[in-house]
Amino acid sequence: MALTRADETDLLLPLHEGLHEAQPWATFLGRLRQRVRADAVELVIAPDGQAAERRIAVPPGAAVADDRMWRAGLRPGRAYSVEHGPGFGQVVRVDEPGGAAAWLAIRRATRDFSAADAALLARLAPHLAIALRTRVALDQAGMDAELSEAALRRAGVGWVGVDADGRVLALSDGAAEVLGARWAGVGLGGGDVAAALDGATARLVRVRDPGAWMLLVSLSVTPLATPAVALIGLILVPRTGDEAGRVAVLGDLFGLPPSEARLAAALAAGASLTEAAGQLGLTIETARNYSKRVFAKMRARGQPDVVRLIGASLARLV
């Protein structure tokens, strides 16, 4: 039996729109609860076989049974009577090709569900599977973006994606902080964009006074439903990191104790030996002794070598 037109409006639309809700699928679960007159409706999502489950219940906080082992054995797409916990219930499982699974359950305390209620769950299963697959793709894209942003901020790099007319299509958090919302609304001049598109190499352009520069690189990205990116602009942004972490990494990489690693970090940041001594609360004699040991252990001939070696190592990302 197919879904009715009312079900398509009241259930399918909220199911697919629910991907974008702050509390995913809350409207769909509320509508389903009304449709089958359930005391509670629950969506349980397991990202993979080992990860902790995520539960979305309507009403929030509704008590649920610990039935994960039993649910894991259910066949996808088929409605089952719930065999655990008080009262009555029906549940259907759907799987996602990447390994995620979800269970949609309806529950009542005093009266069993009808065969029509169970059939409704089974008819919703293919649509729930599509919604789950889309949500997994969105979550993966979001996680990729967060990881990329965190890595680039460690490196002190921000990015801006622009189209062939110089309009800003997307930018990293770091770039937004440096350039500001006003610049993002204006974008790049047509002359800069045309020159970057015509050239075979990267082009340096000034994007803000005083002294903010961007390196423009040709990059063709043509999504299906959003504007095409023609150029990516790279800018320097404030780095994230912590001094204690950098000291620990320098110690591991070059065999330096914390006192020498702190001096090496200060020298790599551009401080003179006298300035580094002052920053670290050392006498100049102590700083000199430390520096000799640092140069020897790093096989450096002087401060320029220290800067080069640390700049070429993972320590620059800490």
Query: In terms of residue numbers, what domain contains 229?
Result: 156-236
In a shared domain, residues 204 and 263: no
Q: Is the pLDDT of residue 211 over 70?
A: no
In a shared domain, residues 221 and 298: no
- Residue 147 burial class via C-beta count within 10 angstroms: exposed 0-12, middle 13-18, buried 19 and up: exposed
In a shared domain, residues 186 and 80: no
d(CA 237, CA 132) in angstroms, rounded, equals 37
Type of residue at 200 = A
Question: What local confidence, expressed as pLDDT, does residue 186 receive?
Answer: 79
**Most confident region among 91-100, 192-201, 203-212 by mean pLDDT:** 91-100
- Answer whether residue 149 is part of any domain: no
* Chain mean pLDDT for the chain: 89
d(CA 175, CA 189) in angstroms, rounded, equals 18
- Answer whether residue 223 is part of any domain: yes
Q: Is the pLDDT of residue 1 over 60?
A: no
In a shared domain, residues 249 and 229: no
Question: What local confidence, expressed as pLDDT, does residue 202 receive?
Answer: 81
DSSP letter for 269, please. T
| Sign, Cα dihedral of 6, 7, 13, 18 | positive
Half-sphere exposure of 142 (CA within 13 A, CB side): 7
- Answer whether residue 147 is part of any domain: no
Counting the structural domains of the chain, the total is: 3
In a shared domain, residues 58 and 168: no
- Answer whether residue 151 is part of any domain: no
Question: What local confidence, expressed as pLDDT, does residue 82 receive?
Answer: 87
Query: In which band, very low, low, confident or very high, does the pLDDT at 223 lie, cut at 50, 70 and 90?
Result: confident
What global pTM score does this model have? 0.81
In a shared domain, residues 232 and 247: no
* Domain final residue pick, 205, 236, 267: 236
In a shared domain, residues 200 and 273: no
Q: What is the pLDDT of residues 170-197, one digit of tens each?
A: 999 999 888 887 787 878 877 778 777 8
Query: In which band, very low, low, confident or very high, does the pLDDT at 70 lie, cut at 50, 70 and 90?
Result: confident
- Answer whether residue 135 is part of any domain: yes
User: Which range among 27-31, 135-139, 311-315 shows the weakest confidence by mean pLDDT?
Assistant: 311-315
In a shared domain, residues 96 and 224: no
In a shared domain, residues 248 and 230: no
